[in-house]
Structure 1
Amino acid sequence: MIFTLGINHHSAPLAIRERVAFGAEKLHHALADLTRSQPVKEVAILSTCNRTEIYCAAETPEVVVDWLAQYHQVARDEIAPYLYTHDQPEAIRHAFRVASGLDSMVIGEPQILGQMKDAVRVAEESGTLGTQLHKLFQRSFSVAKEVRSTTAIGANIVSMAAAGVHLAERIFESIDSQRILFIGAGEMIELCAAHFCARQPKQVTVANRTVERGRALAERYNGHAIRLDELGEHMPQHDIVVSCTASPLPIIGLGMAERAIKARRHRPMFMIDLAVPRDIEEEVGDLDDVFLYTVDDLAQVVESGLESRQAAVIEAEDIIASRVQDFLGWLQARDTVPVIRSLRDAAERVRRHEIEHALKLLAKGEPADKVLEHLSQRLTNKLLHAPTQTLNLAEGSERADLQAAAARLFHLHSGE
């Protein structure tokens, strides 16, 4: 049975989501730990700033809920109210909707598809992606492609990065006179840099743990790179700070922010924290001269773009409903595989036995035509003995059901 359980921006606030997030460097260990300690056959973990979801093939999702709480050292009762659990067919529908961007904070955004593909790659590398989940994700990617190519779900998309620019322009008259500090050099920061730098800011700085990667991003926008441990020295010189790293602990604490504001003589500072767990301590937002926004805050900005995409959403949901039925058909077909294999194995044993018997008769000098006739009769009788006996012994509604099944299995017609 395929299950999906998780927590996302619909079900939980950021303060809860960040407690169960998995950093990229922990995913391999987490997958190995889950499959080793629990009766889970297949598993993949999708962890982004908006969601932590576990896709698995298991007898029950309860063991996975217990594992999630234990792994993150969080009391089960603390996260249980925010967790959702889907089994078939809803688990399949959920995977298709996530891949297609229908479950995202920004409806139709394409970034989640890449994140899901990364989750699948990690599960494959960890050896935890079996036949069922492999097929589920491949179908999810196929459905996402169909939705994006046949509907307008991605038209006029309002991205998180664009929302950040919109908020910054509420604080400052013009971004072209501001100095921007980007913390991190991953995909989200690259998107933000593209949007902010399109406004031609006065200065661009990239702070990253790996300076070489930070420098590669900074040079695209005529900026320069610094090390993360130089943040305290350089932050006061910047008006806008955009952060998104995979750090498990805050990078900017209250003390660092207070010193920066003091050095700036209380000129306002606009900060966006797109990381989960957060890069910037929550208390920083309480400072009078700091305007701090998280991923949940940006949701209010992107909400305005939903109405224009509602027609496309309806079309996409219809496509997904149809593809869910197709996938359920594939799963049901898999359920018959063991029966078909047993049936063929039994028939093969009978065939081999009768061939050996016929060869012995030929060796004794029996005429070939008589041996063949004898072989065909014995083979027919043995193959039909079990179903014939079952039909004869059946009574009442069971007999009617078996007769109907026999007619369908053997393509029988009335009068034949």
Structure 2
Amino acid sequence: MVFVSLVASHSDVDLETVARLSAGASEVASGVLDGTSPMAGAVVLATCNRYEVYAEARSEDDVEATRSAVIAEIAELSGLDEQTVASALTTLTGHEAVNHLFTVGAGLDSAVIGEREIAGQVRRALIEAQESGTATGSLVRLFQTASRTAKDVGSHTAIGGRGLSIVSVALDLAEDLRDDRWSEKNIVVFGTGAYAGATMSLLQQRHAGNVFVYSNSGRAPAFVATRGGTALTDETLAGALAAADIVIGCSGGDQQLTADDLAEAGRGDAPLVAIDLALTRDFDTSLEELEQVDVITLESVRMAAPAEQTAALEEARSIVVTAADEFAAEQRERSADAAIVALRKHTQQVLETEIERVRAQHGCTAAAEEVEFAMRRMMRQLLHEPTVRARELAAQGRSDEVESALGSLFGISTADIAAEAAKKAARKKQKQQAASAKKPAAMPDDAIHAPHRTA
């Protein structure tokens, strides 16, 4: 088993490319998994400024095939050619992939260092993969550990202590452009997803009183019922735009607000702040050409995001590195366990064959039982030292030596070991599914979807 991550983020790729890669993001994981797939599972993390696929390749030999399969699937769903997709994605494997996810989950690779939203997006990515059946046991442990690491960073360092996020920095920029009298502003929010929910919460904290929500999917009434504000319809949207002081785009839907829309709403030359937080842009670029409109984009937020203190960053990164090292050690021990199980299964088969011979010759006599007892005790003693040594070697990152030794001495192949690990993971998954089946189903929530996937 090898972790493979393919990464495109704001650090290396422009946001337009990230948005294009994200088309069909929810279908990538299931699309790359079939009977002949070189990978056992996959989880997709798609946010406003990153697109990442985490896969579990079945072996080191399957890493390149895994990368190619993911690239081909993304190309098919996004409409981009494979060469463009391949050049936009950075490939990380093994410990690098683990360290990267932990860094991302802790908000240390975000446009706003220490942002809060990304930890929730990491959790939701895992939940969606589990619901669609693409998350393996190893991927579940990986993402759950990333979430725990993010909590440790939040509770033990000053990173994120100020509650900064992409939304909060965007609202701060709006205050700088106009003023901070939020209670007097008329605000229109487009969307009902994760960022829309975060926006509503922060607007409430700033005592915004006149907030209107529009969604072309019709989810606005249910959204405002739990978060406050007034739902807009197609008929009332134009009137709200005419009176708006601030419009905030969080939907990333197919429709875009244009300069013509504002003109038709009868705004005239009234000043307006347009905050576009959607990866695929809710506001057409024609708004930027209007003198009375100030447009704040994700790029604006990234440029305005404050730098965190060096000491706090170093402390946070130390927590991430330690967590990644500990996770890697646990994974190596699990690999050793699979090898040990394969060895025990092999020796058990040999032992049972010999015991059957004793029973055939001597029947169920006391002598036969004593011979069987002695043979089982001897086998346990013989396996004790190899078991201890296998775990020690695995902890040192030398699992390959254990597997090589088992192959040379007992004819146990890596395929045998992988099969044992897969059986164990399958049994665990069946238990989890059985436990989940006993729980009442949760109601769907718009807020669990990535902002550019909602309307």
Q: TM bucket by the smaller chain?
A: 0.7 to 0.9
Deviations 1:381-413 (A, max 9, x none): 9x98xx9xxxxxxxxxxxxx99xx99xxxxxxx
Instruction: Tell me the residue number matched to 1:340.
Output: 340
Instruction: Please tell me whether the aligned partners of residues 243 and 274 of structure 1 are also in contact (alpha carbons under 8 angstroms).
Output: yes
1:7 is matched by which residue type in structure 2? A
How much has 1:55 moved relative to structure 2? Answer: 0.6
- 1:297 has 2:295 as partner: no
How much has 1:232 moved relative to structure 2? Answer: 3.3
The 1:57–1:22 alpha-carbon spacing in structure 2 relative to 1, beyond 3 Å, is: same
Instruction: Please tell me whether the aligned partners of residues 18 and 278 of structure 1 are also in contact (alpha carbons under 8 angstroms).
Output: no
Matches of 2:320 and 2:340, distance apart in 1: 30
Instruction: Tell me the residue number matched to 2:435.
Output: none
Number of matched pairs: 374
Matches of 2:148 and 2:29, distance apart in 1: 25
Matches within 5 A, 1:52-67: 52-58=51-57, 59=62, 60=64, 61-67=67-73
Instruction: Tell me the residue number matched to 1:15.
Output: 16
| Counterpart pick for 1:213 among 214, 222, 243 | 222
CA RMSD in angstroms comes to 3.2
Deviations 1:153-180 (A, max 9, x none): 2212432232222222233244443311
- 1:187 has 2:194 as partner: yes
TM-score under structure 1 length normalisation? 0.80
Instruction: Tell me the residue number matched to 2:142.
Output: 136
The 1:296–1:78 alpha-carbon spacing in structure 2 relative to 1, beyond 3 Å, is: same
The 1:197–1:333 alpha-carbon spacing in structure 2 relative to 1, beyond 3 Å, is: closer
Deviations 1:211-248 (A, max 9, x none): 32243257x3xx4221256433431211110110142x
How much has 1:89 moved relative to structure 2? Answer: 0.9
How much has 1:16 moved relative to structure 2? Answer: 1.4
SS in 2 for 1:152: coil
- 1:3 has 2:4 as partner: yes
The 1:135–1:364 alpha-carbon spacing in structure 2 relative to 1, beyond 3 Å, is: closer
- 1:231 has 2:237 as partner: yes
1:252 is matched by which residue type in structure 2? L
Instruction: Tell me the residue number matched to 1:273.
Output: 276
SS in 2 for 1:136: helix
The 1:345–1:266 alpha-carbon spacing in structure 2 relative to 1, beyond 3 Å, is: same
Matches of 1:378 and 1:295, distance apart in 2: 66
Matches of 2:376 and 2:175, distance apart in 1: 87
Instruction: Please tell me whether the aligned partners of residues 175 and 199 of structure 1 are also in contact (alpha carbons under 8 angstroms).
Output: yes
Instruction: Tell me the residue number matched to 2:393.
Output: none
Instruction: Tell me the residue number matched to 2:313.
Output: 313
Matches of 1:379 and 1:210, distance apart in 2: 67
2:233 is matched by which residue type in structure 1? R
The 1:143–1:291 alpha-carbon spacing in structure 2 relative to 1, beyond 3 Å, is: same
How much has 1:30 moved relative to structure 2? Answer: 3.2
Instruction: Please tell me whether the aligned partners of residues 241 and 267 of structure 2 are also in contact (alpha carbons under 8 angstroms).
Output: no
- 1:86 has 2:92 as partner: yes
Instruction: Please tell me whether the aligned partners of residues 257 and 283 of structure 2 are also in contact (alpha carbons under 8 angstroms).
Output: yes
Matches within 5 A, 1:383-402: none
How much has 1:210 moved relative to structure 2? Answer: 1.7
Structure 1: stretches of 5+ with no match in the other structure: 388-400, 407-416
Q: Greater CA radius of gyration, 1 or 2?
A: 1
SS in 2 for 1:325: helix
Instruction: Please tell me whether the aligned partners of residues 207 and 214 of structure 1 are also in contact (alpha carbons under 8 angstroms).
Output: no
Matches of 2:376 and 2:325, distance apart in 1: 43
Instruction: Tell me the residue number matched to 2:117.
Output: 111
- Report 1 or 2 for greater relative contact order, CA contacts < 8 Å, sequence distance ≥ 6: 2
| Counterpart pick for 1:286 among 286, 289, 299 | 289
Matches of 2:160 and 2:298, distance apart in 1: 20
| Counterpart pick for 1:126 among 132, 137, 150 | 132
SS in 2 for 1:18: helix
Deviations 1:283-314 (A, max 9, x none): 32122221111112111222x2x233x32221
How much has 1:132 moved relative to structure 2? Answer: 1.5
2:124 is matched by which residue type in structure 1? D
Instruction: Tell me the residue number matched to 2:327.
Output: 327
Matches of 1:14 and 1:373, distance apart in 2: 71
TM-score under structure 2 length normalisation? 0.73
The 1:48–1:364 alpha-carbon spacing in structure 2 relative to 1, beyond 3 Å, is: closer
Instruction: Tell me the residue number matched to 2:257.
Output: 252
Matches of 1:326 and 1:10, distance apart in 2: 27
Matches of 2:154 and 2:277, distance apart in 1: 25
| Counterpart pick for 2:169 among 157, 163, 167 | 163
How much has 1:47 moved relative to structure 2? Answer: 0.8
Deviations 1:85-144 (A, max 9, x none): 111110000111111111111111221111111111111111111122111112112222
Instruction: Please tell me whether the aligned partners of residues 74 and 85 of structure 2 are also in contact (alpha carbons under 8 angstroms).
Output: no
